[in-house]
Structure 1
């Protein structure tokens, strides 16, 4: 008899008992060093996948799959998954877990045993989505690295520390607006997509978690490089409360040159970085580059 409900019915998600069983079998104790907090609630991983908009046509990059809770929920959509896992023990165990809990879909998971910050290429078809419970201690660098490395990524949803989620999605002028907000805005339109309680993790973290969704957009049209623009952003927020005229003098050569570049870009030299959007930083970088030639 054919199962008309679809292949997802053959997938079993992980709950608290399964997560602890798998961890015990592997002799794993979650470590703070690698930001390991395993999701033990099936409703939460299904919610993450639902909010991400992933479909069976997607090739999904997942960073830090751990024991496979979110990986299994992604397979329920029919998508393929490229799982990047720095912990070799977890990476080696993931295929067996997929074979046990999703026997008919296990071949749609590729495991890449490497540090996500050091990834330079991924096997298989070009990925279209990024969905992950990112390690909280490196969440922003990992997100920015993958956005830069994988232009085929169209959208994504990541779980990060709530405070980081606020920063990534913050608009200009808000208290949490800063370097993560601006650098993410180079690649994508970013929004907050909800909160996650501490009790869905094992072990429960000491911080709240948040979901951040993003949709790829074309980067600003400019003759300067992304690195040049990001250097201006870094300088502007190195001394957050100081006017741009002063904090950009190192890049410009002097306060006077910084002021001239700002005026030429249509920016008040006494403005602060927290009041400007990504396109304004692009204009500043262009003027600074022009004055250096």
Structure 2
């Protein structure tokens, strides 16, 4: 069993043909066929006998196979039921549980509580491009008891997640990530190491989850409403973006910005997380 190299293109093709599996474009299926990349992802995740891994979208199981060898327990969530028979023939690990469900509909806090008693839980995944942002936002907003996230995503998305203030990549998702974690792009991955080959390159990005949010605010919901409003129309000034999207008067927004020491004519892309925090708190003081 352990001798089967699932990342081998030859092995993968033989097994998928055997089960009559067809790749789904709508599910963004691109399976890894490079053992070095698989090893690097596991290395970045820093797994040991105390680790519990939640894998999103195991696909063919190339990464799953190594995760099972490195971690104490792996729970994988796979949306494609047609992979069930493939998995039965290739992933017979006693420390693996596969749930055939849509990750976006899973109660992950309950899953972690039920499956990973006392373990250091990490999320590790090769995420489908088409659903990367909803998955990452779900993970960050639902505040799981996890220490680390290591995911492969489209290179352009990784750059947005890890962007610096003032750059064209910097946006609302950058700030959502900054609020809860430290990020690092561990490696870029060429499109040649996938079957089928996608049109763009990928990157492996690691999130080290902070014990508490990076800044303290009076109202977290208002913080993210302010951030989203500021980036919904990037060319608008902060005062116009906030008054249009928050449905508050320009007078109130102007007052809040001045009190937060923010120029009302600046654009959101020029503001740091701390500055958004100050704006959020000043608005809350005026509407409560």
How big is the shift at 1:207?
Answer: 0.9
| 1:113 correspondence with 2:100 | yes
- Aligned residue runs from structure 1 range 34-49, under 5 A: 34-49=27-42
How big is the shift at 1:94?
Answer: 2.2
> After alignment, is 235-244 or 274-283 more displaced?
274-283
Instruction: Provide the residue aligned with 1:124 in structure 2.
Output: 115
| 1:86 correspondence with 2:79 | yes
Alpha-carbon distance between aligned partners in 2 of 1:287 and 1:91, rounded to the nearest angstrom = 52
Instruction: Provide the residue aligned with 1:168 in structure 2.
Output: 161
Alpha-carbon distance between aligned partners in 2 of 1:82 and 1:91, rounded to the nearest angstrom = 14
- Aligned residue runs from structure 1 range 271-286, under 5 A: 271-286=266-281
- Aligned residue runs from structure 1 range 85-234, under 5 A: 85-91=78-84, 93-99=86-92, 106-121=93-108, 122=111, 123-125=114-116, 128-217=121-210, 218-219=212-213, 220-225=215-220, 227-234=221-228
Relative to structure 1, the CA distance from residue 265 to residue 201 in structure 2 (aligned partners, 3 Å threshold; closer, same or farther) is: same
Equivalent residues of 2:151, 2:204 under 8 A apart: yes
Alpha-carbon distance between aligned partners in 2 of 1:95 and 1:78, rounded to the nearest angstrom = 20
Gap regions ≥5 residues in structure 1: 1-8, 100-105
Alpha-carbon distance between aligned partners in 2 of 1:221 and 1:95, rounded to the nearest angstrom = 47
Q: TM-score, normalised by structure 2?
A: 0.90
| 1:50 correspondence with 2:37 | no
- SS across alignment from 2:91: helix
Alpha-carbon distance between aligned partners in 2 of 1:96 and 1:241, rounded to the nearest angstrom = 53
Alpha-carbon distance between aligned partners in 2 of 1:87 and 1:279, rounded to the nearest angstrom = 41
Relative to structure 1, the CA distance from residue 290 to residue 197 in structure 2 (aligned partners, 3 Å threshold; closer, same or farther) is: same
How big is the shift at 1:46?
Answer: 0.8
How big is the shift at 1:247?
Answer: 0.7
Report the aligned-residue RMSD: 1.8
Choose the corresponding residue for 1:242, options 236, 242, 263: 236
Equivalent residues of 1:11, 1:72 under 8 A apart: no
How big is the shift at 1:216?
Answer: 0.5
| 1:269 correspondence with 2:264 | yes
Matched pairs, number: 278
Instruction: Provide the residue aligned with 2:249 in structure 1.
Output: 254
How big is the shift at 1:192?
Answer: 1.4
Instruction: Provide the residue aligned with 1:3 in structure 2.
Output: none
Alpha-carbon distance between aligned partners in 2 of 1:192 and 1:277, rounded to the nearest angstrom = 20
How big is the shift at 1:238?
Answer: 1.1
- SS across alignment from 1:90: helix
Deviations 1:223-264 (A, max 9, x none): 303x32221111101111221011101315122221111112
